[in-house]
Amino acid sequence: MEKRLIYLDNNSTTPCDPRVVDAMLPYFYEKHGNAASRNHPAGWMAEEAVDYAREQIATLLQADEKEIIFTSGATESNNLALKGVFEMYASKGNHIITATTEHKAVLDTCKRIEKMGGEVTYLEVDNLGRVNLAELEAAIRPSTILVSIMWANNETGVIQDMKAIGEICKKHGVLFHSDATQAVGKIPTYPREMGVHLMSFTGHKMYGPKGVGALYVSRKNPRVKVTAQMDGGGHERGMRSGTLNVPGIVGFGKAAELARLEMAADAERLSKLRDRLESSLMKMEETYINGDVNNRMPHVTNISFKHVEGEGLMMTFNQNIALSSGSACTSASLEPSYVLVALGLGDDLAHSSLRFSLGRFTTDEDVDYAVKAITEGVNHMRDLSPIWEMYKEGIDLSQVEWAEH
C-alpha cells in the first residue's frame, strides 16, 4: 500500500479549512489591534472583527450575539458553566446532575465542585448510551441547580434527547447546560429551541483554529448569570477576563459561517461514507457497532473487533491511518474506555474498539484504503491469536477468557 496518512480522527480535532486560514491571516499582522483598545483605529478594527465573528456564531446557533462568551476552548467553557453556576446560585442549592459518559472536562470539573462542597449525581446510561429520562427527573431535588448532559458523545457519537431533557429542566426550574463540543457545526444545535441555558463548544472541532471556544449563556427566559472564573479587566461582559484572541475568533466566526452554509451537505455525504465504512467492516465475524445507531452523529462510528486489541490493531497500519482507540483525551491510559464500559461492554470488547470520525476532507479513497488496511490487520491479528483459533473450533471460551490479558 502507498504510505500516506488517512485522517479519520476528526472528533479529536479537525484540520483548519483553508478559507478559515485566509480569513485569519490579516489579523496576525496587518490588523493586529487589541479589541479592548478603544481609542485608536487599530483597536476599533479588531473590535469590529470580533463583533462580526460573534454575530456569525450566534447566527449558527439562532441565538443573540450578546449570548456568546469567548473562551480558550470547550474545557474552559465547561469549567465556567459548571463552577460559575455553582457559585452564582449557591443560595438556591448545591446539587448538580450529570452522566457517567460525559467528557472528562465535565466529570473532572464536577469532582472539583464536590471538593468545594457540592453534591453531584452521576446518571448511568443504557446499552445504547442514552440517559434514562425518568431517572434524570427522579434525581432532581429541591437543591438541584443544574443538569449537565452532553449533546453528542465524543466516543460513540450518540445524541441525547435534548428537547426532552430541556422540558424536564424547565418543569422543575433547573438550569440546563450541555457540552455540545462534538455537535456544534456538524448538526443543528439551537439552544433556545431545546431549552438549553448554557452550551459549551470550540473552534477546532468544526474546521476552525485551536485555542478558541465559546460559552452560550441565555439572556432571557431565563436570564442566566455565572460567576467569573478568571479575574482581570472584566472582558466578555464580566464573565471572562483576558485579551481576546482576535485571529482565532475571526477564524472561529468564519468556521461557523461555513458550517451554517455547508452543514447539511457535509452531513449527508459523510453519513453515506460512514455507512459504507461500517457495512464493509461488518462483513468480518464478531464485529460490533457500539452505541445507538439511530441517534448519532452522521460522521462517527465506534466498532469493536472481538479478540483483537485495538492499540495493537492500529500498529498494523504503520501509522498510515489516524484513528482513536478510545477518547483521545484519555488515550494515555491503558484502562478500557469508561464510555464503552458504561454501555455494558466487557473489557475485551472495549479494548478491541476503534473510533472512526470522518470529516469535511475525507474522501471515498480514504475510506476504501482504511477498510482494506483494517480488514487485513484484523485478519492478521486473529490468525496469530490462539483465542481466535479456539473460537473458530467451537471451544467454550468462558474458561480461557483470561488468556487475552
Q: How far apart are CA 368 and CA 16, in angstroms?
A: 24
Q: How far apart are CA 403 and CA 380, in angstroms?
A: 18
Bridge partners (DSSP) of residue 289 are 303
Phi and psi angles of residue 99, each rounded to the nearest 5 degrees, phi first: -125, 155
Average pLDDT, integer, range 351-375 = 96
- Give the pLDDT score at 221: 94
Residues 6+ apart with CB under 8 A from 247: 24, 25, 27, 28, 209
For the chain, list the domains and their CATH numbers: 6-13+263-404 (3.90.1150.10), 18-258 (3.40.640.10)
- Give the pLDDT score at 93: 98
pLDDT band at 398 (very low <50, low <70, confident <90, very high): low
pLDDT band at 307 (very low <50, low <70, confident <90, very high): confident
C-beta separation of 170 from 201 below 8 A: no
- Give the pLDDT score at 257: 98
- Give the pLDDT score at 245: 97
Position 405 pLDDT exceeds 50: no
Residue 172, number of CB atoms within 10 A of its CB = 13
Q: How far apart are CA 399 and CA 405, in angstroms?
A: 13
pLDDT band at 344 (very low <50, low <70, confident <90, very high): very high
Q: What is the biggest distance separating any 2 CA atoms in the chain, rounded to whole angstroms?
A: 80
Cα 45 → chain centroid:
33
- Burial of residue 95 (CB within 10 Å: 0-12, 13-18, 19+) is buried
Average pLDDT, integer, range 82-104 = 98
- Give the pLDDT score at 397: 60
Chain segment 134-174, per-residue pLDDT in tens: 999 999 999 999 999 999 999 999 999 999 999 999 999 99
Which amino acid would we find at residue 104? K
Which of 176, 136, 161, 146 shows the shortest CA–CA distance to 296? 161
pLDDT band at 228 (very low <50, low <70, confident <90, very high): very high
Position 82 pLDDT exceeds 60: yes
Phi and psi angles of residue 291, each rounded to the nearest 5 degrees, phi first: 100, 180
Q: Which residue has the cell 481576546?
A: 244
Chain segment 244-255, per-residue pLDDT in tens: 999 999 999 999
Q: How far apart are CA 43 and CA 218, in angstroms?
A: 28
- CA distances to 100, 196, 215 from 147, rounded to whole Å, are 13, 10, 16
Which amino acid would we find at residue 169? C
Average pLDDT, integer, range 53-81 = 98
C-beta separation of 46 from 37 below 8 A: yes
- Give the pLDDT score at 400: 56
Give, for 81, the enclosing helix (H) or strand (E): helix 74-88
Q: What percent of the chain has pLDDT over 70?
A: 95
**Least confident window among 181-185, 329-333, 355-359, 367-371:** 329-333
Q: How far apart are CA 51 and CA 368, in angstroms?
A: 43
C-beta separation of 203 from 248 below 8 A: yes
pLDDT band at 392 (very low <50, low <70, confident <90, very high): confident
Position 51 pLDDT exceeds 70: yes
Position 290 pLDDT exceeds 50: yes
Q: What angle do CA 366, 372, 373 make, to 5 degrees?
A: 85
Which three three-digit cell numbers place residue 288? 460490533
Position 328 pLDDT exceeds 80: no
Position 381 pLDDT exceeds 60: yes
Q: How far apart are CA 87 and CA 228, in angstroms?
A: 9
- Give the pLDDT score at 403: 44
| Chain mean pLDDT for the chain | 93
- Give the pLDDT score at 386: 77
- Known catalytic residues are 329
Q: Which residue has the cell 455494558?
A: 344
Average pLDDT, integer, range 230-250 = 93
